[in-house]
Copies of this chain bind each other. A is one copy, B any other.
Amino acid sequence: MRPGTDIRVTYRLSGEAAEADALAHAIAYEQTVELPAAQIDGTPAAANVGRIEAIVPDPEVPGAQRACIAYPAALASAQLGQLFNLLYGNISMYRGVRLLKLTLPDALLTHFRGPRFGIEGVRRLTGVYGRPLLATAVKPRGAATSELASVVEAFARGGGDIVKDDQNLVHAGFDEFRVHVDACADAVERANAVSGRQCLYLPHLAGTDEELARRAEFVRRRGLRGVLMCPLVLGLDRARALAEAYQLLFMAHPALTGAYTRGRREGIAPAILLGTLFRLAGADVSVFPTPGGRFEVTSAACTAIATALAAPLGNLVASLPAPAGGIQVSQVPKLAAGYGTEAVWLIGGALRGDTRGIAVATRALLSAMNAHFEPRQEPPETTPPSACELPGTGVTGPAQSLLRAGTDFQWFARENQRYKSTQALPFRGVRRVELIGKRGESCHFELRYFELEPGGYTSREKHLHTHVLIGARGHGTVLMGEEHIALHPDDIAYIAPWRVHQLRNEGDRPFGFYCIVDRERDRPLAP
C-alpha cells in the first residue's frame, strides 16, 4: 500500500466478465511502462506499474465490472497534460474502458494552483451574492460588430452578470479580434457606468497558438477580467497557463468534450473531465449542457459535475458550474432547485428570442430567478492601480528592424511615457521608452530607455527579477542597498534579485540609461 501518494482510479470494463482481469492487467501496464509483464516484473520499473486493487461487478451496468487501479502520483510528473495522458492516453484506443472515478493525492495536488478566482472571487468581481449569476453569449458569428456589442450592452443594462463571446466567435487576425473586443468592452463599460454594477465581459480567447499570448495580453491591458476558453481546443494545460500568466478569470467551454463524455462503455465521466480536470486547469466557471435544452444529458451527470467543481481538492478553491445549451425561461424553477445558489446560468437564445428585447428579457429572468433566492449586491472589486510596472503602455504595431535614434534620446516610432506616481511606490520626473519586447519580438528580455529630469528619481523598490543598466546620457546615481554608485555613459550596473534600489538624478542635466529586464518578471514591491 502507498496510501496518500497514489492516484486512484476506477474504470468500468464492459467486455466479457471473464476477461476483466486480463483487461485490468493490460491497462495497468499500458498506461505506465508499456511493455509486457515478462519484460518488467523484477526490474526497477515494476514499481511504476498500476496496482489493481479490486475488480467488482458494476452496480449500474449489468455484466460490466469496475476495476480500481492505483498509479504512483509521480507518474503524473506534476503536470496536467501528463495526468490526462496517464488516466486515459493509450487506453482511449481500447474497447470497453471508461474512466468513472478519480481520487488525487495531495502529493500531486500541491503542484496545481487551480482556479484563481473560484466562486468567492467571481462573486467579489461581480458584487453579486445570494443568487446564481446570470450569463449570456455574444452571437451570432456573422453579425456586425455593433450588433454584437449591442447584445453586450442590453444584457448588462438588463442587470446580467457575465457576458461571454460565443465559442464560434473566432477572429482570424489580431486586428479583427481587437476591434471586436474593444467594441464589446466599451459596451459593457457604458452599461456599467449607468447601472453602477460590474457586469463582466469575457472575450473568447482563441487564435493561432502563436497569437494567443498577444490576445490574452490585450484582454488584460484592456482592463477586462477574464476570458472564455475551450480547453480541448487549446490544450488543457495551455488554457491553464494562459489564464495563469495573465491572471484571467477562466470560463471553460465544453467544445469537443462530448468525444470523451458521451456513452457508457468508453470515455471519461463528465464529472472528471468537466469537473475535476477543468478545475485543475484553473477554470473558475465550467460550462456544460443541462437537460431540457439542445443536448441529451442526464441530471445525474450534471449534478456530478457541479459536485466535482466544489468538492474538496487539495487546497484548490471551488469553481462554479454553468449549466447551458438551450435553457428555456420555463426551466427557472428546475435550475434553482437543481443547482442552488452557487451556479452560473448561461442563457443565450431564450433571451435573444424574447420579442421585448434582451434588456427586458434579462430583467424578467432575473426577477423570476430572484423569487427563489435572497440576493444581495455588494460593491464589486475593481482592478487595483498598479505602481512601478506602468499600466497600459499603449504600445502597438509590429516589431521593427531598426529604431533610429533622434536627438536627445528620442526614437522614431516610440512614444515617451509619463505616468502619475502612486503612493505605494512614488517616483518623479521619469521619461520611459519601451524599445524592444512589447511588440511581439521573439526574445526573453525587454529593452527600455529611462531618463530622469534633474531632481527626478525612480521608485525605491525590490523584486526577484534583475536589472542590467547601461549609462547613456549625463550621469546620476544608483542606490543599491546602502551603496551609492555613480553611473556614467557605458558604465554597466547589475541589480541582483531582491536588492533594494533606486535611480536618482541629483545633477542639473538629464540622466538617461538603458534598462534590460527579463520579459517574464515579478511585480516590484516596496522595500
A17 within 8 Å of B (CB atoms): no
- Expressed in whole angstroms, the Cα–Cα distance for A206 and B468 within the complex equals 30
A249 within 8 Å of B (CB atoms): no
Which residues of B are found within 8 Å of A208, using beta-carbon distances? 78-81, 237, 241
- The interface bits of chain A over 223-266 (1 if a CB of B lies within 8 angstroms of the residue's CB, else 0) are 00000001001111110110001000000001111111111001
Instruction: State whether A82 touches B444 (Cβ < 8 A).
Output: no
Instruction: State whether A402 touches B485 (Cβ < 8 A).
Output: yes
Nearest B residue to A262 via CB reads: B266
A337 within 8 Å of B (CB atoms): no
Residues 141-175 (chain A) with a chain B CB within 8 angstroms: 141-144, 166-168, 170-172
- Expressed in whole angstroms, the Cα–Cα distance for A485 and B404 within the complex equals 10
Residues 387-437 (chain A) with a chain B CB within 8 angstroms: 399-405, 409, 411, 435-436
Given contact pairs A266-B263, A518-B443, A168 touches B33 in the complex (Cβ within 8 A): yes
Given contact pairs A237-B209, A516-B516, A32 touches B168 in the complex (Cβ within 8 A): yes
Kindly identify which residue among B92, B443, B447 contacts A257, using a CB–CB cutoff of 8 Å: B92
Instruction: State whether A405 touches B489 (Cβ < 8 A).
Output: yes
A383 within 8 Å of B (CB atoms): no
Given contact pairs A79-B170, A79-B208, A518-B445, A488 touches B405 in the complex (Cβ within 8 A): yes
Q: Which of A93, A137, A139 has its CB near the most chain B CB atoms (within 10 A)?
A: A93
Which residues of B are found within 8 Å of A492, using beta-carbon distances? 402-403, 405, 411, 435-436, 447
Which residues of B are found within 8 Å of A508, using beta-carbon distances? none
CB distance from A336 to the nearest CB of B (A): 24
Instruction: State whether B294 touches A30 (Cβ < 8 A).
Output: yes
CB distance from A266 to the nearest CB of B (A): 6
Residues 15-43 (chain A) with a chain B CB within 8 angstroms: 26, 30-36, 38-40, 43
Which residues of B are found within 8 Å of A30, using beta-carbon distances? 294
Given contact pairs A79-B206, A206-B79, A262-B95, A405 touches B490 in the complex (Cβ within 8 A): yes
A363 within 8 Å of B (CB atoms): no
| 9-residue interface stretch from A3-11, A119-127, A303-311, A346-354 | A346-354
Nearest B residue to A74 via CB reads: B172
Can you tell how many copies of this chain the complex includes?
Answer: 2
Q: Which of A36, A262, A489, A492 has its CB near the most chain B CB atoms (within 10 A)?
A: A492
- Expressed in whole angstroms, the Cα–Cα distance for A171 and B92 within the complex equals 22
Which residues of B are found within 8 Å of A443, using beta-carbon distances? 445, 465-466, 468, 516-518
Which residues of B are found within 8 Å of A507, using beta-carbon distances? none
Instruction: State whether A141 touches B400 (Cβ < 8 A).
Output: no
Kindly identify which residue among B45, B143, B256, B489 contacts A84, using a CB–CB cutoff of 8 Å: B256
Nearest B residue to A90 via CB reads: B255
| 9-residue interface stretch from A55-63, A314-322, A368-376, A493-501 | A493-501
CB distance from A37 to the nearest CB of B (A): 11
Instruction: State whether B34 touches A401 (Cβ < 8 A).
Output: no
Which residues of B are found within 8 Å of A348, using beta-carbon distances? 34-35
Q: Which of A38, A46, A404, A478 has its CB near the most chain B CB atoms (within 10 A)?
A: A404
- Expressed in whole angstroms, the Cα–Cα distance for A235 and B78 within the complex equals 18
- Expressed in whole angstroms, the Cα–Cα distance for A234 and B84 within the complex equals 10
A471 within 8 Å of B (CB atoms): yes
Given contact pairs A45-B143, A172-B74, A402-B491, A209 touches B485 in the complex (Cβ within 8 A): no
Instruction: State whether A141 touches B75 (Cβ < 8 A).
Output: yes
CB distance from A235 to the nearest CB of B (A): 2
A48 within 8 Å of B (CB atoms): yes
Instruction: State whether A295 touches B94 (Cβ < 8 A).
Output: yes
Instruction: State whether A233 touches B352 (Cβ < 8 A).
Output: no
26 A-B residue pairings within 8 Å (CB atoms): A32-B142, A34-B139, A36-B353, A40-B140, A44-B144, A77-B206, A81-B206, A81-B208, A82-B170, A89-B168, A89-B255, A92-B256, A92-B262, A93-B254, A93-B297, A94-B295, A209-B238, A235-B236, A399-B494, A401-B496, A403-B492, A403-B493, A404-B491, A441-B468, A443-B468, A472-B490
A residues apposed to B, CB below 8 Å: 26, 30-36, 38-40, 43-48, 74-75, 77-82, 84-86, 88-95, 137, 139-144, 166-168, 170-172, 206-210, 230, 233-238, 240-241, 245, 254-263, 266-268, 289, 294-297, 325, 348-349, 352-353, 399-405, 409, 411, 435-436, 441-445, 447, 465-466, 468, 470-472, 478, 480, 483, 485, 487-497, 514, 516-520
Q: A33-B168, A88-B259 are in contact. List 7 more A-B contacts (CB 8 A).
A: A33-B141, A43-B142, A85-B170, A93-B258, A405-B488, A447-B470, A470-B514
